[in-house]
Each structure stands twice: as structure tokens, then as C-alpha cells.
Structure 1
């Protein structure tokens, strides 16, 4: 008896998964619909049955990344219950590890915002919403620590994350990005040390 083959994913999921990979690797504007359908093994009509346009596909891909990152935040909270300092140090460590990955090309949502500067474009709208949500979650986390000016600390950490991701484009994994974890923890330690007794 032949072994059962795993069920084939729906065309919409194959298109979305393929597009996310290609957009991240090469940039959204550089990848055409023809390349996506060829790599996904679907036809153009099947793509357009699921996504009304390339912009709709881009929005789907970015929203999927947004949702996955929010799920990762939820998981981080479950892994560090009642310990905001451990949660923040884990966050710094995991962002640093991601940034050092050989396949890292920066933040997909920041990259999209750079490619689509037009206000109101769906890609830019999702990227801005994502960045706002990330900042709000980080501020809420830092506010649980005994530090002065928690918003300032949260913004400093965000700037380190963003800078490390951006520097990968020009300096690689051994450039400034390699120092991000050490610098972020030093910043955190300085704020903790400045806490009133």
C-alpha cells in the first residue's frame, strides 16, 4: 500500500508563503506576479481569485508577519510569567539572535515602509500599525521595571533594534549589529542602576 501524501496546501497559502519569502529576500517591487505564481506552482487566475491585486497580496503578507510577531510576543509573556526583567532580557537576546542570522535582511515591515513611502498605501499602513503596536508593548513591559523614564528606555532599545537591523544591509552580521545585545543590556543596566533606592 502506497504511503499517503500530505495534503496539498490551498493555492492561496502557497502564494502567500512564496510571496513572503521572495518579497523578504529581494524586495516587494522587485518581485512580479509571474515569478510568484511560477514558484508557487499556481496559475495567475488562482492568485487573483484569492488576492484582488498585488497590493492585496502584499498587505496579506505583511499582516501575516505582523500577526506572527504578536503571537511571538504572547509566547514570550507565557515563558516569563511575572518576571518583566527576564522578559526584556529574553526579548533583547532573541532579537539579537535573529539579527545575526545569515538570512536576516532587516525588518520586513520597515523594509516595506521604505519601499512604499506614500501615505495611505496598504503596505505603509500595516507597517506603521505594526511599529506602533511594538512600541506600545515594549513601553508597557518597561513600565513594569523600577527604572526612571521608562518611555526613554523603551525608545532607546527600539533605536538599537532598528539600527542593528538596518546596519545588516551594509555591514553584515559582524558589523555594528553584532554589538546590539551587549549595548542594549548595558543601556538597561544603566537605567536599573539609576533607579531611586
Structure 2
């Protein structure tokens, strides 16, 4: 279905609510009311709530892919700049009051069935991020790019979750030292 102002309004409303409060806690009636659309309009654009969740995740993933691809291609030292941006994103919650974490991690927590369509979208995006990290490490001549990308991605996930749940802070820069020690292995 083509984009329409109503569809965009529904998606924009859902994005704000899903990020600020979670997915399962937000009902269709609330989405309809806060989007200011008729029930029929909502279901014409999103036959099920899962369809809306998938559209939300795909939109978020597309934004992330555009930004990371842009950073890699436009910044000096593109591969290293990409890895720096991912590290910075992992630490974002350390500086934000009320940080709720990554929408992909949160969605995976809310939808535990690995075959559920939302989890398929989450897993596909997370694999893309890991793979772009592998590519960056290969470009830097890293001896074990895949294994290292897996560890870096785990560090990233852990920092985000710890920031959202426990208020993790890194005042002495241990996260950065560990991140760059892994990146700079030769």
C-alpha cells in the first residue's frame, strides 16, 4: 500500500509509543485514538498490530542502515568511523535520563518466539549490523573479523541493556578501552 498521511501518522504515533512505553502494552484502540484516524483507516493500512510492529521495525532499521552506510562512506576512515558510531550508540543510554534501550532489543524481549515475524525482522537487522561490523573489521585488516564483531556486538547489547535497566555508567572509559582493544588487535 502506498504511503498516505494517515498511514504516516499511525506509524509516527506507533513509533513514539513503542519506543517510550513498549509494544505489547500499547493497544490498537490507543493507537487509533492518538493517531486521530478512524478504525477502518487503521486496519486498511495495518490489518493487524503485528503488521504495524513490522512497519515500525523496518522503518527504524532503514533509518539505521542509511545512517551507518552514510557514516562509512562519507567520513574519513570510514570503517573506523562506523565502529566508533556503533560504540557511541551503545553508550547513549549512559547519558540519557529515562533511557528505555534499543527498540530491537526490547522487541526481542517482548516477542520471544524466534519464528514470530517481528523477531525475524529484529534478527535480520541485528545480523545486518553485525555483518557491517565484520566488513569494517575486514577493511581494517583485523585477523578475526567475524568473531570480534560477535564480541563487539555482545558488548554493545550488554551496555544498552545495562544502561536501560541498571543505569550503567562508564566514568573511567572501560567500555571504550575494551572496545578499541578488540578492534585494534593485529
TM superposition score category, shorter chain reference: 0.7 to 0.9
Residues of 1 paired with 2:30 and 2:92: CA distance? 31
Residues of 1 paired with 2:6 and 2:177: CA distance? 44
2:124 is aligned, of 106, 119, 129, to 129
**Pairwise CA distance, 1:70:** 0.7
Partner of 1:6: none
Residues of 1 paired with 2:49 and 2:79: CA distance? 41
Residues of 1 paired with 2:176 and 2:137: CA distance? 17
Structure 1 residues 122, 174: CA separation in 2 closer, same or farther (over 3 Å shift)?
same
1:13 is aligned, of 3, 8, 15, to 8
Please say which of residues 63-72 and 34-43 is displaced more in the overlay: 34-43
Partner of 2:41: 46
Write the deviation string for residues 94-146 of structure 1: whole angstroms up to 9, x where unpaired: 44346633353221112111111123211111011111111111101111113
Pairwise CA RMSD:
2.3
Gaps of 5+ in 2: none
**Pairwise CA distance, 1:79:** 2.3
Write the deviation string for residues 24-74 of structure 1: whole angstroms up to 9, x where unpaired: 111111000111121112122111111111111111111111111111111
Aligned pairs for 1:82-93 (under 5 A) are 83-93=78-88
Q: Does 1:162 align with 2:154?
A: no
Residues of 2 paired with 1:162 and 1:154: CA distance? 12
Conserved? CA contact 1:167–1:175, under 8 Å: no
Partner of 2:62: 67
1:26 is aligned, of 21, 28, 44, to 21
The residue matched to 1:114 in structure 2 has which SS? helix
Q: Does 1:145 align with 2:137?
A: no
Gaps of 5+ in 1: 1-8
Residues of 2 paired with 1:91 and 1:175: CA distance? 16
Q: Which runs of 4+ in 1 moved over 4 A?
A: none
Structure 1 residues 88, 118: CA separation in 2 closer, same or farther (over 3 Å shift)?
closer
Q: How many residues align?
A: 182
The TM-score with structure 1 as length reference comes to 0.82
Higher radius of gyration, 1 or 2: 1
